[in-house]
Amino acid sequence: MAFIFQKLRTETPERLDEPEAARLQTHCIEPPYLIMQRTSSAFLTDAGTLAGRLLIASLFLPAGIGKASQFAGTVGYISSVGLPLPSVAAALALVLEIVGGLALIVGYRTRFFALAFAAFTLTASFFFHAYWAVPADQQLMQQLLFFKNVAVVGGLLFVAVQGAGRWSLDARTAATRHGPAAARSLA
């Protein structure tokens, strides 16, 4: 294929007529290393996207299960930072973390849940890791947790922009509704 483009670039239109260009295209076989590079690149993209979703879900799903199993403690912790309606906040947080974590694992409505998690994580960071408002001996730990959450938000925004990838329910749904080409572009 590269040979065709090189030939087309170097030859003037008078010297390379249409039959010659067509002959070059029909007899040119893509080199195997390019096929393997494209194939391995697609596999790595799919595997990396799945791994990213699983790793992000591994942060939220256990946290949601923990909130459900220790609901009273979660409510107490939320009320300790002065948030209103701590029971409602705890219930919303655990539902988001469990349902959203499972959704990320299977790649269902991934962009929506990634954005929801990004907003949730950033908001929680300001309330629960306000390193600027804690005693000096706690500042370093809270600052590390705050900026860890900021990095998680960055990863979630990347997922929201990139989508779930081809190995997801989002891609399967897009393929069912709009055909295989849509699955490649939408997922």
Ordered by start, the domain boundaries in the chain are 43-186
For 98-140, how does the pLDDT look when each residue is reduced to its tens digit (9 = 90+)?
Answer: 999 999 999 999 999 999 999 999 999 999 999 999 999 999 9
For 66-96, how does the pLDDT look when each residue is reduced to its tens digit (9 = 90+)?
Answer: 999 999 999 999 999 999 999 999 999 999 9
Give the Cα separation of 17 and 64 in Å (integer): 67
Give the Cα separation of 164 and 103 in Å (integer): 10
CB 64 within 8 A of CB 93: yes
> What pLDDT is attached to residue 176?
82
CB 167 within 8 A of CB 184: no
